[in-house]
Each structure stands twice: as C-alpha cells, then as structure tokens.
Amino acid sequence: MYDDILLPTDNSAGTAAAVTHASELASTYDATVHVLAVMDTRNRFESPSSGIASDAWDDAERERAEDAVAETAAMLPERVEIEEVVRSGVPRTVILEYAEDAGVDMIVMGTHGRTGLDHYLIGSVTEKVVRRAPVPVVSVRPSDD
C-alpha cells in the first residue's frame, strides 16, 4: 500500500514526533523513507535570515539542511530503508514537487503547533502541503513532554 514515505525535516520538535509515525508506517509496509530537507532560497530579506550576506546565508542553509537530514535519518530504525535528500527552493513548493517526482505514496510531517497571530503571520508549511498534496498527508504535532 505504501512503498515510499516522504518525511520532510527541519529538525524541529514536530519532526521528531513525525519520525515515530514514519517509522511505524515504514516498518508496517516495508516502505522506504525519503528524508528531505529544503535549503530555503527565498530572498534573504524576505526570509528569516534578516539581511545576512547571500553567500553566508546559502552556506548556513546548506549546512542546516544537511544536518537536519542526517540527524532525522539517525532517528529512524536501522531496519528502515532511507533515502537522504537535500533540495533548494521554497520549502512548501519543493516538498510538493519532490512528492510528485519521487512518486511517494504518503507524506508524514510535523507541525510547529503555532496558533493565533503567530500562525497567521508565519503560516504553516504543513498546512499548505496538506491542502495541495497529491497523496495522503499525516501531520503530527509535537508532544507536550
């Protein structure tokens, strides 16, 4: 039923919670987990970089994405087959494009649990993926522990 599961990561608490679900699904269906981190390429004045020099921003984003993939992949059980992927672009767009291009059957992703004004101002990558994904999406909130 599910041969390929996409697990986007930003190495947040939401991702850590999603790893548990992706692990269970992958183990149940003998699926490959595609761990994807996105290097955010939006203009550095429009993104959380607050005006950092372009090269420094790109280097920091690359390192952050590579670390996120490696750390998330390390949380998955050894018995699960893993594809580690780093792409660049706008996170919601890259996640949706990768899901279609790689032919994944499901997306499992964490949420940040933002509400109110924070949610309105910052938005939610997970929410945008849920609304536009060509496959089922499991969204996982971080635990209160």
pLDDT of residue 144: 55
Whole-angstrom Cα distance, residue 79 to residue 37?
22
Residues of the chain with pLDDT under 50: 115-122
In degrees, rounded to 5, the angle at the alpha carbon of residue 38 between the alpha carbons of residues 41 and 95 is: 110
4-8 β-sheet, strand order = 81-89, 32-40, 4-8, 106-110, 137-140
pLDDT of residue 119: 43
Q: Which CATH architecture has domain 4-140?
A: 3-Layer(aba) Sandwich (3.40)
- Domain ranges across the chain: 4-140
